[in-house]
């Protein structure tokens, strides 16, 4: 393996991907790009996805089983969920403050609103249908949906990650409750499975720079096709809205998380961000915290020094339920749509957004575009026409990349904080940080 650190290699792949994508759109190479460049991105993404389910099962079962007593599990579990929900609520508040201060919706010209609605209406209808299925049930449906009726079925679809998490937790708890000699063979199998998967991650990461190159080129290819001008125009029109979302995400990532780390841990903020950079870059390139999970676990354990015990439980849970970036984005998007449609939202409606977005982000799957679909639930809750989604659809992919990077940063931060509170955080493996990881 090369001696250049992994995050630099991924970054290089990304920059070259952007340059190539722009050239491809400018010179009309989209056919060549989708035939010969995009497949490398897809292969890389598929490799990451294929290990997500075994990794979640293996790591949660071994993580829970290693806690050795149920009281410790409920203590760590309780803290984890509380911090996850707390940071998500802060994220939403940041989003709400930003969108109310800057009011991006009031700067969209009327003709443009109509143009956007007309262009994206059919796509938006599709998303609305999907989300209506989700939200036509009662308030407890989210919990019903968490429980699988068939574990093979649940494991067969990466969107059902939360069901797999719940089943793995159940398995882990039962193993802790059994006499040790009865539980040991199965615990050993899962521990071995986890070790093998982590090893596979190392292999997959060899192709990360090429994979990221393909994924970024693919995104630009999809957004711009062969008409870079149209893409730039759209970005210009919705640029202020995008800036507000990205500004909020940056604030949350660069203030909320570092403050948490400062209060609860002794890790250096710079080193922390340097250590998790490969996971952030990957989250940005794949728009999927589920696909990024193997790398998030790897960097947290090897480069931040989070114990296996905590990371193998906190991170898979976080990838599925903790989405600060998504929640922040949903708050901004909901108010932006209301502003654009000329609807004022009073403080009650904004509080409603806060509450709904905490739960909506838990329900959002760790896959590209999930946040946009779940946004429908929030819009319904505050009485804003869901068709308004058509306004923001065109730029969603770009914002998805940014919010996913923040989602993953949040998971890594909370894992570090919980481990530090539990006294497990050890000094990172310096060699791993300097080298290839
Ligand atoms: N793509 C995001 C994730 O996987 C979810 C979202 O669409 O906001 O974390």
Q: What confidence tens digit (pLDDT) does each residue in 378-390 have? A: 888 888 888 888 8
Mean pLDDT calculated for residue range 110-139: 63
pLDDT for position 80:
94
Q: Does the beta carbon of 410 lie inside 6 Å of ligand 1?
A: no
In a domain, 193, yes or no: yes
Q: Does the beta carbon of 361 lie inside 6 Å of ligand 1?
A: no
In a domain, 389, yes or no: yes
In a domain, 1, yes or no: no
pLDDT tens-digit readout, 401-420: 999 999 999 999 999 999 99
The mean-pLDDT minimum among 4-8, 306-310, 325-329 falls in: 4-8
pLDDT for position 125:
61
Expressed in angstroms and rounded, the spacing between residue 427 Cα and the centre of ligand 1 is 31
pLDDT for position 250:
98
Higher pLDDT among residues 91 and 426, named by residue: 91
Look up the CATH number of the domain holding residue 95. Answer: 1.10.3860.10
In a domain, 399, yes or no: yes
Q: Does the beta carbon of 364 lie inside 6 Å of ligand 1?
A: yes
In a domain, 331, yes or no: yes
Report which ligand 1 atom has the smallest distance to the Cα of 329: 8
Q: Does the beta carbon of 402 lie inside 6 Å of ligand 1?
A: no
Report which ligand 1 atom has the smallest distance to the Cα of 319: 9
Expressed in angstroms and rounded, the spacing between residue 116 Cα and the centre of ligand 1 is 23
Q: Does the beta carbon of 323 lie inside 6 Å of ligand 1?
A: yes
pLDDT band at 431 (very low <50, low <70, confident <90, very high): very low
Give percent above pLDDT 90 in the chain.
Answer: 48
Expressed in angstroms and rounded, the spacing between residue 88 Cα and the centre of ligand 1 is 14
pLDDT tens-digit readout, 173-184: 899 889 989 999
Report which ligand 1 atom has the smallest distance to the Cα of 366: 4
Q: Does the beta carbon of 326 lie inside 6 Å of ligand 1?
A: yes
pLDDT for position 171:
94
Please provide the average confidence, as pLDDT, over all residues in the chain.
Answer: 87
pLDDT tens-digit readout, 321-363: 899 999 999 999 999 999 988 888 888 899 999 988 888 888 7
Instruction: Indicate if the pLDDT at residue 368 is higher than 90.
Output: no
Instruction: Indicate if the pLDDT at residue 189 is higher than 90.
Output: yes
In a domain, 15, yes or no: yes
Instruction: Indicate if the pLDDT at residue 7 is higher than 90.
Output: no
Domain count, the chain: 1
Instruction: Indicate if the pLDDT at residue 435 is higher than 90.
Output: no
Q: Does the beta carbon of 369 lie inside 6 Å of ligand 1?
A: yes
pLDDT for position 133:
58
pTM of the model: 0.86
Higher pLDDT among residues 70 and 240, named by residue: 240
Expressed in angstroms and rounded, the spacing between residue 286 Cα and the centre of ligand 1 is 10
Expressed in angstroms and rounded, the spacing between residue 399 Cα and the centre of ligand 1 is 10
pLDDT band at 304 (very low <50, low <70, confident <90, very high): very high
Expressed in angstroms and rounded, the spacing between residue 372 Cα and the centre of ligand 1 is 9
| Closest CA to ligand 1's atom 1 | 368
Expressed in angstroms and rounded, the spacing between residue 287 Cα and the centre of ligand 1 is 6
Higher pLDDT among residues 66 and 418, named by residue: 418
pLDDT for position 60:
87
Angle at 138 between CA 411 and CA 124, to 5 degrees: 70
Expressed in angstroms and rounded, the spacing between residue 95 Cα and the centre of ligand 1 is 16
Higher pLDDT among residues 228 and 68, named by residue: 228
Q: Does the beta carbon of 265 lie inside 6 Å of ligand 1?
A: no
Expressed in angstroms and rounded, the spacing between residue 368 Cα and the centre of ligand 1 is 5
Instruction: Indicate if the pLDDT at residue 65 is higher than 50.
Output: yes
Instruction: Indicate if the pLDDT at residue 145 is higher than 60.
Output: yes
Higher pLDDT among residues 48 and 228, named by residue: 48
| Closest CA to ligand 1's atom 6 | 371
Instruction: Indicate if the pLDDT at residue 437 is higher than 50.
Output: no
Expressed in angstroms and rounded, the spacing between residue 414 Cα and the centre of ligand 1 is 18
pLDDT band at 276 (very low <50, low <70, confident <90, very high): very high
| Closest CA to ligand 1's atom 8 | 371
Q: How far apart are CA 306 and CA 189, in angstroms?
A: 23
Given ligand 1 and candidates 95, 127, 361, 364, which is best to mutate, with the most ligand atoms within 8 Å of its CB? 364
Given ligand 1 and candidates 326, 376, 399, which is best to mutate, with the most ligand atoms within 8 Å of its CB? 326
Write the secondary structure of the chain as one string of H (helix), E (strand) and C (coil): CCCCCHHHHHHHHHHHHHHHHHHHHHHCCHHHHHHHCHHHHHHHHHHHHHCHHHHHHHHHHHHHHCCCCHHHHHHHHHHHHHHHHHHHHHHHHHHHHHHHHHCHHHHCCHHHHHHHHHHHHHHHHHHHHHHHHHHCCCCCHHHHHHCCCCHHHHHCCHHHHHHHHHHHHHHHHHHHHCCHHHHHHHHHHHHHHHHHHHHHHHHHHCCHHHHHHHHHHHHHHHHHCCCHHHHHHHHHHCHHHHHHHHHHHHHHHHHHHHHHHHHHCCCCHHHHHHHHHHHHHHHHHHCCHHHHHHHHHHHHHHHHCCCHHHHHHHHHHHHHHCCHHHHHHHHHHHHHHHHHCCCCCCHHHHHHHHHHHHHHHHHCCCCCCHHHHHHHHHHHHHCCCHHHHHHCHHHHHHHHHHHHHHHHHHHHHHHHHHHHHCCCCCCCCHHHHHCCC
pLDDT band at 130 (very low <50, low <70, confident <90, very high): low
pLDDT for position 138:
67
Report which ligand 1 atom has the smallest distance to the Cα of 323: 9
pLDDT for position 393:
84
pLDDT for position 137:
62
Domain that holds residue 353: 6-434
In a domain, 144, yes or no: yes
Given ligand 1 and candidates 161, 287, 365, 393, which is best to mutate, with the most ligand atoms within 8 Å of its CB? 287
Q: Does the beta carbon of 400 lie inside 6 Å of ligand 1?
A: yes
């Amino acid at each position: 393996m090369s001696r250049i650190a992994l995050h630099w290699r991924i970054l290089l792949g990304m920059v070259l991907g952007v340059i190539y994508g722009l050239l491809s759109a400018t010179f009309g190479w989209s056919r060549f790009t989708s035939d010969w460049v995009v497949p490398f991105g897809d292969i890389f993404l598929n490799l990451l996805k294929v290990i997500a389910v075994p990794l979640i099962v293996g790591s949660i079962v071994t993580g829970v089983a290693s806690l050795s007593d149920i009281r410790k599990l409920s203590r760590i579990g309780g803290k984890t969920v509380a911090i996850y929900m707390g940071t998500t609520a802060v994220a939403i508040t940041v989003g709400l403050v930003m969108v109310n201060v800057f009011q991006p919706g009031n700067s969209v010209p009327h003709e443009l609103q109509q143009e956007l609605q007309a262009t994206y209406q059919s796509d938006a209808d599709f998303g609305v249908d999907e989300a209506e299925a989700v939200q036509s049930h009662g308030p407890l449906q989210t919990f019903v949906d968490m429980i699988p009726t068939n574990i093979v079925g649940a494991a067969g679809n990466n969107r059902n990650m939360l069901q797999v998490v719940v089943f793995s937790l159940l398995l882990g708890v039962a193993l802790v409750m059994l006499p040790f000699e009865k539980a040991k063979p199965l615990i050993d199998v899962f521990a071995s499975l986890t070790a093998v998967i982590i090893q596979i991650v190392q292999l997959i990461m060899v192709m990360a720079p090429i994979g990221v190159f393909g994924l970024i080129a693919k995104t630009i290819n999809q957004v711009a096709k062969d008409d870079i001008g149209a893409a730039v125009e759209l970005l210009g029109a919705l640029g202020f809205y995008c800036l507000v979302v990205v500004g909020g995400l940056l604030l949350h990532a660069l203030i909320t998380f570092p403050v948490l780390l400062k209060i609860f841990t002794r890790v250096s903020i710079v080193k922390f961000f340097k250590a998790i950079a490969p996971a952030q870059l990957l989250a940005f390139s794949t728009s999927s915290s589920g696909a990024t999970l193997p790398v998030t676990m790897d960097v947290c354990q090897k480069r931040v020094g989070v114990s296996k015990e905590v990371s193998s439980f906190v991170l898979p849970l976080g990838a599925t339920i903790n989405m600060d970036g998504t929640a922040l984005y949903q708050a901004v998007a909901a108010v932006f749509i209301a502003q654009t449609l000329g609807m004022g939202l009073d403080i009650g409606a904004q509080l409603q957004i806060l509450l709904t977005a905490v739960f909506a982000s838990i329900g959002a799957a760790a896959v590209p575009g999930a946040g946009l679909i779940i946004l429908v639930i929030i819009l319904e809750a505050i009485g804003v026409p869901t068709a308004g989604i058509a306004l923001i659809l065109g730029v969603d992919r770009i914002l998805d990349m940014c919010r996913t990077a923040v989602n993953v940063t949040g998971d890594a931060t909370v894992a570090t904080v919980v481990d530090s509170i539990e006294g497990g955080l050890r000094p990172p493996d310096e060699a791993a940080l300097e080298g290839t990881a």
